Structures are given as C-alpha cells and as structure tokens.
Amino acid sequence: METLKSLVFVGTEGIYHDHEGNGQFLTAMLNRSDSIEANFSRDYDVLADGLEAYNTVLFYTDVGELTAAQEAGLLNYIQSGGGFFGLHTAAASFRESEGYHDMLNGFFDGHSPYMDFTVNVSNTEHPICTGLTDFKVTDELYYLKHNPDSSQHLMHAYDHTKDETHVMAFHHKYGEGKVFYFALGHDMAVLEHPSFQEVISRGVLWVGNRL
C-alpha cells in the first residue's frame, strides 16, 4: 500500500507546552514507521492551500486564530475525505472558530492537576485499540465541552480530584473524512510512553484509511 503522507501542524501561540519541540518529536516518531511519511509545519497558509498534498493532518496546536480561508480550507479538506487527528490542546485552539469546534466535537473546559492517572480502553475492538490495555500516565486529565451522542468513545479516565470520569479519545465522521481526538499530550513524560505512541501511530493510520 502507498505510504501515508501526514502533516504534523503545530501553529501555536500557547505558552504552557513545548509544542514545537514535542511536535518535532512526534514527527520523528511517525517517520520511524515504514507506512508513514510525516512533515512538520507551523505555516498557517498550508491550511488554506496545501493540505491536498497529505492524506492526514495532526493538529498539536494551542490558542491561535484561523482566518476564514484557513478554516474553510481545513474543513473542506476533511469533508472531502482527508483525515484529521486532534491532539491534546487541539481542543483549546482557535476559540473563535465555531466551525472548527463543530468539526472536532470538543472544546477545552479545564483540566485536572498534572498528575498520575489510568487511561481505560472503552472499546477494545476498534482498530486503534486492538490489543491495547489500560495504561497509567502522568499528564493533565482534560475536561471537554463535548456531545457524546455525536462521537464514538474509545478511552476514558477517572479523575479522583473531582470524582468524575472523562472521555480521553473519540472518533466520528465529518463529511467523507474521519476525525479522531486524543486528549493526552502535555509533555515528554507521556510522549515517550509506549501506549501513547501506539495510539498516535494507529490514529494517524486510521484517519488515513490505512488501518
């Protein structure tokens, strides 16, 4: 099968994460796979006119603004069959872009303290989760404004600080394209976790119709 071409997009104005360094790490990690060719970018213009070169785009972004042309380019790309993978602060990005958040079905609504917690696999039969078992991480446990009826949940986690359970990974269709969101990704403590890396690779392949 033809190599999947993926863009790791890290346009960001955030200050609480090393998005550029972490994004470069994720790009290098994906490129270790014989099935994936990943490129790194912080160039917003690629969203308006350039995504057609890729099968998938992974957003590891924070805050920022999208122009009308950039948002339209991204949404048209996904609706036409391009794969979208939103990671961690992708849910906290482009807060004035209603179309973007409608596509993602997730809007950042706070997080737990940076702490240890367990990610539970909700759907062991989905290709992203096949053979994956519950795993412990050190990260921020994200809270989202999210419509659970519009997506299929793959993972969840219990927050002992609030006695609440929150979705950690979900997917849905947007037009002809697949959308996958994964809430982990604060820093290298989780980026180096083998289960996290497995989900990243599988998520990119799945939204790109290779898994």
CB of 36 within 8 A of CB of 201? yes
CB of 211 within 8 A of CB of 5? no
Helix (H) or strand (E) holding 58: strand 56-59
Q: Say yes or no to pLDDT of 16 above 90.
A: no
What does the block give as tokens for 143? 């809270």
CB of 64 within 8 A of CB of 70? no
Quick check: helix, strand or coil at residue 114?
coil
User: How many domains does one find in the chain?
Assistant: 1
Q: Say yes or no to pLDDT of 1 above 80.
A: no
Q: Find all residues with CB under 8 Å of 96, minimum gap 6, and list them.
A: 65
What does the block give as tokens for 141? 């446990």
Q: For 67-102, write each residue's pLDDT tens digit.
A: 999 999 999 999 999 999 999 999 999 989 999 999
Query: Rounded to 5 degrees, what are φ and ψ at 158?
Result: -95, 130
How many separate helices (H) and strands (E) can be counted in the chain?
6, 11
pTM of the model: 0.96
Query: Could you tell me the residue range of the domain that residue 100 belongs to?
Result: 4-207
Q: Say yes or no to pLDDT of 141 above 90.
A: yes
Q: Which CATH number fits the domain that encloses residue 120?
A: 3.40.50.880
Q: What is the pLDDT of residue 19?
A: 84
Q: Say yes or no to pLDDT of 14 above 70.
A: no
